Structure 1
Amino acid sequence: MSAESAELVMRDLVDVLLQEDLAGFGARAEAGQPAELAGEPLAPGELWCRVKLAAGWVCCRVRPGGALQRYRYARGPVWLGGGGSAARPLRPEELLVLASGELADAAEVSEDVRAAVEHTEVVLGQRAALDLTPQEGRLLAGERLAATRNRPFHPTARAASGWTAGEVARYGPMRAEPLALDWVAVRRDRLRFGTDPDSQRLPDLVLAAEGRQVLADLVDDEYLAIPVHPWQFDHLLPAQFGEELATRAVIPLVRGLGRCHPTASIRTLTTAPETRRHVKLPLGMATLGATRLLPPRYLANAERAQECMRELVDRDTLLRRRVALCDERIWCGWHDPADEFGDRPGQLAAQVRVYPELDGLVLPMAALAAHEWDVLAPAISDRFDPVDFFRELAKSFCEFGFAFLRYGVLPELHGQNVVVQLRGARVQRFVLRDHDTLRLFPEWMASAGARDPEYAIKPGAAQSLRLESAESLVGYLQTLGFQVNLYGIADALCRHFGLDEGVLWTQLRLAVRECLQPLPAAVAEVLRARLLHAETWPSREVLGPLLRQGRSSGVSMPAGLGVVPNPLASGMVG
């Protein structure tokens, strides 16, 4: 196992332990070098940080933490000492167990951290054999770049829980050769369909002529052939749909038909060669603590959200210029009227996502947070300037985020859901995908004349789509939009180009101030107060909730709310 893989995971782990103050880890962090490490050197700008634990102490090199936290991890190793034993380096999963105290699911999460190191090794090993230079109008290289980091600042982001290293190599995004799909016939009266008529003919959208003919010879009109991921076919389909297989409501047809490339999300695949169509399929494994299923109720809610956003884009000049939407109305999934809100129907479903016409350089914003700027910078511009680029990106991002907020809605703006289209180093527009988490504040929607999408939500269930305050809606911009997406990009730029992160926070502050000006007074007042003048911002906690709850049996990632200093307050940035 290479040191690089463990170091990448350890960096995210130490940073989140400090920021979330898990079991008092951050509060007990103090500057100081134990005598046992007296011979270990510091590089310029580094400090020693020691944290006392019941088992002794842990210590590592850190650097000043910037706007959001006191310290950030600088480099390894992380040492365990005290208790009469010689100091020794720790593996990430060992540190997780030591730091998490008595939290219930430490063993399960430590296994995910261990898997993150192992799976990073696979991804980086395969990545070295690929040319990931982004190509105009094509997404696959950017998806693969995004996969080298995945969700920034999450210590299990690189783990595919439930998969071996061999399965990551076989089914993951760095697989060089196209992946073929398996196909089953499902009785049409047992399926629920999207509103686009093409939902009734999925094979025609993803297969070449010879593949379509193979299925046409096997399927009669009472059935529809739908694709199944080969891992899902082997591991989940027999267990989840054994009765339906026995009664021939579901019939296996053919294996290894079609050509696709997995993307960073693993369950979504591009067609090969690339077209505007991507195929999204459920997987009964987990990433970020959430199972990668595809419940039809989520697909239906995504359609409602898409229609809501489409109306707003059509009526708003800025949104029409800055935003394009993927079409997510083509889908089908298992229909069980007695289990409308259950997760089992999400084990057998498929969506065909259709992108708008893409030209210029198109990248998931998550790719910009990857530590791949030696590849990205020359692809974006032969005279790339990181501060100018971040200024342009931050302003364009705020423009369209604020434009949605004026109507009382906000898409989920983390880097995997937003594709940026560039021409040179200038932002042309953003392409939005995964519409099922468009969040709403009904009062602002009503004031702006925006139509409610009327989501189907299980009565009495916890939900985060319809919010009770404007501040809660803005909080999702502060957490997922700014701290995960834009700050993930800023972090990668600062590491590669040797920048002080305060320079980039200043660019974001200037962008916020400029983009407030066209907004209605009531909306601008809330944004100004929450973004610029509040002492603190909400933050997204990920490790503590995962340790307390364990992996989710459903599709929602374990997460909670914490507090960080406001990085845009006048005393924090220049």
Structure 2
Amino acid sequence: MHRPPTAEAEVADELAAVRPDLVPRYAAALPGARAAVLTRLWRALAHEPLPWVTDRAAGPDGLTLRLSDGRRVHGPQADPYATAAYVDAVRLDEVPYADPARLMTDLGVAHGTAFAAELGHSVASLTLSRAGQPSSEDPEEWPAGDWEWEQRVVDGHPFHPGCRSRPGFSVAEQLAYGPEHGPLVRLGLLPVPAGECLLTGEWPDRLRDGERLLVPVHPWQAEHVLKRPCERGFAAHPLMSLRTLAIPGEAQPHVKTALSARLTSSVRDISVYSIGLSATLSAFGETLAARMDGLLHITRTLGAVAAGSPDLAAVLRQSPQAFATPTSGERVVPVAALATTRLPGSPGWLADFTRLALTAGLRLLEWGVALEAHGQNLLVVLSPTGAPLRLVYRDLADIRVSPARLARHGIPVPELTGRIVTDDERTLRRKLFGSLVAGALAGTAGSAAALRGALETAVRDLPRTPDLVALLEEPLPTKALTLMRLSPVTPGDQWAELPNPLR
């Protein structure tokens, strides 16, 4: 049977045309990228509530999954908090598989073919991302600019099998726009009559043209979605989300653009709903930060605009660097970038950071606010010696707010509507624990053993609230990222329960 070209082969062919010097490095990086994606996929097969996995049996030689059709998949014991690629192959019955896309195809499950294509893109793009890295980068050298920290995150999401999936992006576009490749991206400016826009906050004069607002547009969006040229524009540094960019210059804002492409899991447009709530959420964030005694800062949304569609929208946001004192040598680092840098400091650094993060997250949760505190949204201010001093949080669009808890603590309830508002205890805890503990802290720790050690030390002095008791005693929730990709008709988040690292 003739198989169509794989994403790996297609990227290799394109690379030979646009950057032939990277072809040998691409070939060398391919096995490691396959193992990285396969490790993430094996984690999902081992721990997510996939309906066609009927039994999981651990033994001295690894883990065996029984499928609903009687077949078995065998691999190593699956550490749900491991970030290193440790799965080189698994066996479906007696056949070994090193290619995650081929494994997913041959599993033959519902919607598996489309997900297999995403896995193929993820492997190919991850290989390209690794191949394009300078070999001389020193993990002990601290970057000067905030965007440089962000661009160190080469592998993407530490637990998602689609960690680098970028379907719809050519090799040339990935090299031109992918933050890990270090480009300077020219954003376009599309003029739209102000009367046709939903605008919240303030829109700066430099992004106005008389009665028209100049909406920053990502060049990929302009070419593939809007199909409109943008003659005016400015250059900016892409951050790890790819669609958010840092405007060069001290104290310049970050600009979040609409990007109607599927990256990792989601299409990255900007909903009109989030634009409408942005000013209210920003003011609410300032109120919360003022109550945190300097423990946590929240970046302000300066202005947000939607021009009639999620495909044409933009958000201007305060840079997290505003909360560091550069003259004292402080740095603001996205938590996702911590694993890329060898940080100085005491042996208890991870426990200190974990205590800081849990203190802030649990205090807000007790008040009634559950942060989406994954490694991209959560940043830490480091001292010159690498000690974690305080936190910065950005992007309030996907938090959850409990009016009942706020009222119980005498905090004015903001005028919010829609998915953000909930008093459901399980929903609130899932939001924080899934993003902070199973996400940011686990990704920084890199293994169940390291996460357990940090948590055991960090929780000793924390107030024993009902939320902390749930964190200590119940399974740890995390988004079932693979189940969600295999359930395209099921809206919203789906969840898995991981073994509690403290039990």
TM-score by length of 1: 0.75
TM-fit CA distance, 1:117: 0.4
How many aligned positions are there?
A: 465
Q: Which residue of 1 aligns with 2:231?
A: 254
Distance 1:202-1:407 versus aligned 2 partners, 3 A rule: farther
TM-fit CA distance, 1:293: 0.4
**What one-letter code is carried by the residue in structure 2 that aligns with 1:74?**
Y
Please point out which of 433, 437, 440 is paired with 1:478: 433
Residues 192-244 of structure 1: per-residue CA shift (max 9 Å, x gap) = 21222xx143538xxxxxxxxxxxxxx5x222222211111111113xxxxxx
Q: Secondary structure at the match of 1:294?
A: coil
- C-alpha separation in 1, matches of 2:315 and 2:65: 48
Checking the alignment, whether the CA contact within 8 Å between 1:178 and 1:272 is kept in structure 2 is no
**What one-letter code is carried by the residue in structure 1 that aligns with 2:216?**
P
Q: Which residue of 1 aligns with 2:476?
A: 537
- C-alpha separation in 2, matches of 1:155 and 1:485: 17
Checking the alignment, whether the CA contact within 8 Å between 1:14 and 1:73 is kept in structure 2 is no
Distance 1:453-1:274 versus aligned 2 partners, 3 A rule: same
Q: Secondary structure at the match of 2:87?
A: strand
Please point out which of 137, 148, 151 is paired with 1:141: 148
Unaligned runs of 5+ in 1: 33-46, 205-218, 239-244, 246-251, 336-344, 458-462, 495-500, 518-523
- C-alpha separation in 1, matches of 2:438 and 2:109: 29
Q: Secondary structure at the match of 1:291?
A: strand
Distance 1:18-1:329 versus aligned 2 partners, 3 A rule: same
**What one-letter code is carried by the residue in structure 1 that aligns with 2:298?**
L
Q: Secondary structure at the match of 1:437?
A: coil
Q: Which residue of 1 aligns with 2:379?
A: 419
Q: Which residue of 1 aligns with 2:168?
A: 162
- C-alpha separation in 1, matches of 2:454 and 2:106: 39
Q: Which residue of 2 aligns with 1:334?
A: 307
Structure 1 segment 193-208 matched on structure 2, within 5 A? 193-196=199-202, 199-203=203-207
**What one-letter code is carried by the residue in structure 1 that aligns with 2:457?**
L
Checking the alignment, whether the CA contact within 8 Å between 2:297 and 2:393 is kept in structure 1 is yes
1:490 aligns with 2:445: yes
Checking the alignment, whether the CA contact within 8 Å between 2:129 and 2:155 is kept in structure 1 is no
Distance 1:529-1:81 versus aligned 2 partners, 3 A rule: closer
Please point out which of 433, 448, 451 is paired with 2:409: 448
- C-alpha separation in 2, matches of 1:267 and 1:169: 14
Q: Which residue of 2 aligns with 1:96?
A: 104
Structure 1 segment 382-421 matched on structure 2, within 5 A? 384-385=345-346, 387-421=347-381
Q: Secondary structure at the match of 1:145?
A: coil
Distance 1:26-1:510 versus aligned 2 partners, 3 A rule: farther
- C-alpha separation in 2, matches of 1:91 and 1:502: 28
1:233 aligns with 2:167: no
Q: Which residue of 1 aligns with 2:270?
A: 294
Q: Which residue of 2 aligns with 1:548?
A: 487
**What one-letter code is carried by the residue in structure 2 that aligns with 1:425?**
G
TM-fit CA distance, 1:27: 2.1
Please point out which of 286, 298, 305 is paired with 1:310: 286
Q: Secondary structure at the match of 1:75?
A: coil
- C-alpha separation in 2, matches of 1:132 and 1:261: 21
Q: Secondary structure at the match of 2:282?
A: helix
Q: Which residue of 2 aligns with 1:520?
A: none
TM-score by length of 2: 0.84
Checking the alignment, whether the CA contact within 8 Å between 1:393 and 1:427 is kept in structure 2 is yes
- C-alpha separation in 1, matches of 2:224 and 2:143: 37
Q: Which residue of 2 aligns with 1:150?
A: 156
Structure 1 segment 11-22 matched on structure 2, within 5 A? 11-22=39-50
TM-fit CA distance, 1:126: 1.7
- C-alpha separation in 2, matches of 1:278 and 1:528: 34
- C-alpha separation in 1, matches of 2:250 and 2:36: 31
TM-fit CA distance, 1:154: 0.9
Distance 1:117-1:441 versus aligned 2 partners, 3 A rule: same
1:361 aligns with 2:365: no
Distance 1:351-1:132 versus aligned 2 partners, 3 A rule: farther
Please point out which of 454, 462, 469 is paired with 1:515: 462
Q: Secondary structure at the match of 1:320?
A: coil
Identity, in percent, stands at 22
Checking the alignment, whether the CA contact within 8 Å between 1:15 and 1:73 is kept in structure 2 is no
Q: CA RMSD in A?
A: 2.8
1:77 aligns with 2:89: yes
Q: Which residue of 1 aligns with 2:14?
A: none
Q: Secondary structure at the match of 1:452?
A: coil
- C-alpha separation in 1, matches of 2:428 and 2:206: 36
Q: Which residue of 1 aligns with 2:497?
A: 563
Checking the alignment, whether the CA contact within 8 Å between 1:410 and 1:440 is kept in structure 2 is yes
Checking the alignment, whether the CA contact within 8 Å between 1:171 and 1:179 is kept in structure 2 is yes
TM-fit CA distance, 1:560: 0.6
Residues 116-174 of structure 1: per-residue CA shift (max 9 Å, x gap) = 0010011111223574756466212221122x232221101211232233321121112
- C-alpha separation in 1, matches of 2:435 and 2:58: 29
- C-alpha separation in 2, matches of 1:271 and 1:129: 27
- C-alpha separation in 1, matches of 2:73 and 2:371: 40
Distance 1:31-1:565 versus aligned 2 partners, 3 A rule: closer
- C-alpha separation in 2, matches of 1:295 and 1:542: 21
1:174 aligns with 2:180: yes
Checking the alignment, whether the CA contact within 8 Å between 1:263 and 1:270 is kept in structure 2 is yes
TM-fit CA distance, 1:15: 1.0
Checking the alignment, whether the CA contact within 8 Å between 1:50 and 1:57 is kept in structure 2 is yes
Q: Which residue of 2 aligns with 1:269?
A: 245
1:112 aligns with 2:51: no
TM-fit CA distance, 1:302: 3.0
TM-fit CA distance, 1:114: 0.4
Distance 1:410-1:17 versus aligned 2 partners, 3 A rule: same
Distance 1:301-1:482 versus aligned 2 partners, 3 A rule: same
